[in-house]
C-alpha cells in the first residue's frame, strides 16, 4: 500500500487520515504542534478535535514536515485556507513531482483571492496541475469519523488522478464521485460557507423555516452566478459540492459557519463568537474574498453583501434582512 501524508490535524484532516489508515494505507498525520503529534502517536486519540474517537494503531503523528512527506506518493492538505501557502512553501522541499496532491480545504485566500488548489500550484510549480485533486462535499467530520454515510466529489483536470483518489477514499460508508470541474467543486465548497452564516443569522433571529428555505435557494443562485462567471459549470453547483454542501452547512448545528451566524443573530459580536471557537469558521474570512470577487466579476450577490455588512461594517442583522426583503422586485431567473 502507498504512503500517504495528511497535513493538518484538525477534525477533518484527522478523519481523513483515520479513514485511509483503516483501509490499510501507511498514513502519517502532520500536526502543527509537537504535543498534539505525540498525543496522536502515543494514545491514538485527538482530544482537542475529535474527543472520544480511537484512531487506528497504524496512524502516526508528527510535527515534522520532512518526516510526514518522506516517501509519500499521496499528500492530503486539510489545512485552513489562510495557512495553505505558508505550510506548502516549506513542504515543497520534501515533495517529489510524481505524486497526487489532494486539497480538502474549503476557502479562498484573502488578498490574492486564490482557491486552495491555485495556491498549491503557485507554490509547487514542479507539481503538475492535473495531479491536484479537490475533495469536497457535504461531510461533517464528526459524522464521517463515526462511520455515518456520506458522499463527496473528487475533481481534477485528470480523470486518472480523480479516479485514483476515488479508489483510495471510497468505503461502504464514504462514497466518492469523480468530477472534472475543479473550479466549480472548489468554489462550491468555499462560497457556501458565507450563505451558511446568513442561514445561522436567520435562525438566530427566529425568522422561521420559510425564510431559511428562501435564503438557501437564493444563496445557491448567487453561488452559481459567481461560480459560472469564474469558469465553473452550472450543473456542478446543483451537485454534492454545491447544493449538497450548502444544505448541510445551512441546516446543521455542527456547522461552524452556521453557528457563527446563529450567535450573531442572537446578539453576540463577531469577535466574541470567533474568540470562543477552537476551530476555524472559513466563511468569516471567505466573506471578504467573495465581496471582492463579486465586484471584480461584475456579479450581483446581495446575500453575501449583507453578510459582509453585518460582519465587518456593524450593520444590525435585522436591518440586513429588511434590506434583502425590500430590494427592487425582479424575475426569479433574471
- DSSP of 113-180: ---HHHHHHHH-TTS-GGGEEEEESS--HHHHHTT--EEEEEE-S-HHHHHHHHHHH--SSEEEEEES
Q: Are strands 132-136 and 100-103 parallel, antiparallel or unpaired?
A: parallel
Known catalytic residue at 192: yes
Angstrom distance (rounded) from CA 159 to CA 17:
23
Cell of residue 150, nine digits = 456520506
The radius of gyration of the chain's CA atoms, rounded to the nearest angstrom, is: 19
Instruction: Point out the catalytic residue in the list 42, 86, 147, 192.
Output: 192
Angstrom distance (rounded) from CA 315 to CA 169:
43
Rounded to the nearest 5 degrees, what angle is found at the Cα of 32, between the Cα atoms of 31 and 37?
A: 40
Are 165 and 176 spatial neighbours (Cβ–Cβ below 8 Å)? yes
Angstrom distance (rounded) from CA 69 to CA 64:
9
Are 129 and 121 spatial neighbours (Cβ–Cβ below 8 Å)? yes
Cell of residue 214, nine digits = 428562501
Cβ-count burial 196-205 (b if 16+ within 10 Å, e if not): bbbbbbbbbb
Rounded to the nearest 5 degrees, what angle is found at the Cα of 165, between the Cα atoms of 164 and 166?
A: 90
Angstrom distance (rounded) from CA 261 to CA 77:
27
Contacts of 17 (CB under 8 A, 6+ apart): 4, 6, 9, 27, 29, 55, 59, 76
Active site residues: 192
Amino acid at each position: 500500500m502507498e504512503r500517504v501524508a495528511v497535513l493538518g490535524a484538525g477534525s477533518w484532516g484527522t478523519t481523513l487520515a483515520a479513514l485511509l489508515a483503516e483501509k490499510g494505507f501507511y498514513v502519517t498525520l502532520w500536526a502543527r504542534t509537537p504535543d498534539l503529534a505525540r498525543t496522536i502517536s502515543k494514545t491514538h486519540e485527538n482530544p482537542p478535535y475529535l474527543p472520544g474517537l480511537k484512531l487506528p494503531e497504524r496512524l502516526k503523528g508528527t510535527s515534522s514536515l520532512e518526516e510526514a512527506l518522506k516517501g509519500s506518493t499521496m499528500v492530503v492538505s486539510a489545512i485552513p485556507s489562510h495557512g495553505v501557502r505558508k505550510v506548502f512553501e516549506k513542504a515543497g522541499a520534501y515533495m517529489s513531482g510524481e505524486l497526487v496532491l489532494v486539497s480538502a480545504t474549503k476557502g479562498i485566500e484573502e488578498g490574492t483571492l486564490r482557491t486552495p488548489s491555485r495556491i498549491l500550484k503557485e507554490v509547487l510549480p514542479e507539481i503538475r496541475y492535473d495531479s491536484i485533486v479537490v475533495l469536497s462535499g457535504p461531510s461533517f467530520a464528526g459524522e464521517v469519523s463515526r462511520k455515518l454515510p456520506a458522499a463527496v466529489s473528487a475533481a481534477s483536470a485528470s480523470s486518472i488522478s480523480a479516479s485514483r483518489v476515488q479508489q483510495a477514499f471510497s468505503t461502504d460508508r464514504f462514497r466518492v464521485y469523480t468530477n472534472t470541474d475543479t473550479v466549480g467543486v472548489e468554489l462550491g465548497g468555499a462560497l457556501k460557507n458565507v450563505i451558511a452564516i446568513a442561514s445561522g443569522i436567520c435562525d438566530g433571529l427566529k425568522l422561521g423555516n420559510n425564510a431559511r428555505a428562501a435564503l438557501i435557494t437564493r444563496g445557491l443562485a448567487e453561488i452559481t452566478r459567481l461560480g459560472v462567471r469564474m469558469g465553473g459549470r452550472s450543473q456542478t453547483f446543483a451537485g454534492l459540492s454545491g447544493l449538497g454542501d450548502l444544505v448541510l452547512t445551512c441546516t446543521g448545528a455542527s456547522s461552524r459557519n452556521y453557528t457563527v451566524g446563529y450567535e450573531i443573530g442572537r446578539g453576540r459580536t463577531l469577535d466574541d463568537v470567533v474568540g470562543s471557537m477552537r476551530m476555524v469558521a472559513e466563511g468569516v474570512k471567505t466573506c471578504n474574498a467573495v465581496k471582492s470577487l463579486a465586484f471584480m466579476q461584475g456579479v450581483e450577490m446581495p446575500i453575501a453583501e449583507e453578510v459582509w455588512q453585518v460582519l465587518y461594517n456593524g450593520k444590525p442583522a435585522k436591518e440586513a434582512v429588511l434590506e434583502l426583503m425590500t430590494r427592487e422586485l425582479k424575475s426569479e431567473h433574471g
